[in-house]
Structure 1
């Protein structure tokens, strides 16, 4: 009887380790790849590495992000606004993209050429968590 309880404890500990260990690793979002023909934006720096996995991919201009919500890791609606909440970007659209500080393509801005990435927008004019509109030049 003691041996089976001890064995059950070892199995339970091994199961707990197996479940917890992968969650502890800081990996980039699967959406951090960003497929061609899209601009991908992320709520977290470094494309959400080790953070809440809120993301969105865009194919057209948006003059006011206040009415857009992030998607969760499972593509469901997060019900959290994207406005003033973008921390990193990948540009795969095929042309330049400009992130603007204010709605209507105004205020401080940063432009990203095709195939460029920035995992930390705080080092740009638009800044971290300050984007309110996105201008895609080729659309």
Structure 2
């Protein structure tokens, strides 16, 4: 059975769509999920919605964000420092986590209980774009 030029073109286009579509949706954006056992921080308000998707997740304390870079949506290094650049948080670690204004767990701070979210850190004591350390209270 022979296909006409138009039919062959439609078959080829459908095959191309079938191959490309799953690849485009294979990786869920980090903002959509913060997996259990982690504290997820985001550079933008509302978990980066409508903004550059810089994020990072933690499973342990970090006394100084100056040596950490944000991750991009595809998990690659953004080469942008996290220090004083956090605007929202999701806590799925299983206990409380405290964001601190200065390295070494000092200065203004805000504590978030397990399963809490805050898409607007500007309304907290630690504030937006002022976070420099994370203390996780699972001890």
Q: What is the TM-score normalised by the length of structure 1?
A: 0.78
Asked if the contact 2:46–2:120 (Cα under 8 Å) also holds between the matched residues in 1, the reply is yes
Measured against aligned partners, the alpha-carbon deviations of 1:63-111 in whole angstroms (never above 9, x if no partner) come to 0000000000111000000000000000000000000000000000000
CA distance in structure 2 between the partners assigned to 1:50 and 1:86 by the alignment:
16
CA distance in structure 1 between the partners assigned to 2:128 and 2:75 by the alignment:
23
Residue 112 (structure 1) aligned with residue 112 (structure 2): yes
CA distance in structure 1 between the partners assigned to 2:91 and 2:76 by the alignment:
22
CA distance in structure 1 between the partners assigned to 2:79 and 2:107 by the alignment:
26
CA distance in structure 2 between the partners assigned to 1:80 and 1:111 by the alignment:
25
Q: Residue 115 of structure 2 aligns to a residue in which SS?
A: coil
Aligned to 1:11: none
Q: Residue 126 of structure 1 aligns to a residue in which SS?
A: coil
- 1:30 shift after superposition: 2.1
| 1:40-119 paired onto structure 2 within 5 Å | 40-119=40-119
Q: Residue 50 of structure 1 aligns to a residue in which SS?
A: coil
Q: How many residues align?
A: 111
- Unmatched 5+ stretches in structure 1: 1-28
CA RMSD of aligned residues (A): 1.0
Measured against aligned partners, the alpha-carbon deviations of 1:28-75 in whole angstroms (never above 9, x if no partner) come to x82121010000000000000000000000000000000000000111
Q: What is the TM-score normalised by the length of structure 2?
A: 0.78
User: After TM superposition, what 4+ stretches of structure 1 lie above 3 angstroms from structure 2?
Assistant: none
Aligned to 2:25: none
Aligned to 1:34: 34
CA distance in structure 2 between the partners assigned to 1:61 and 1:87 by the alignment:
18
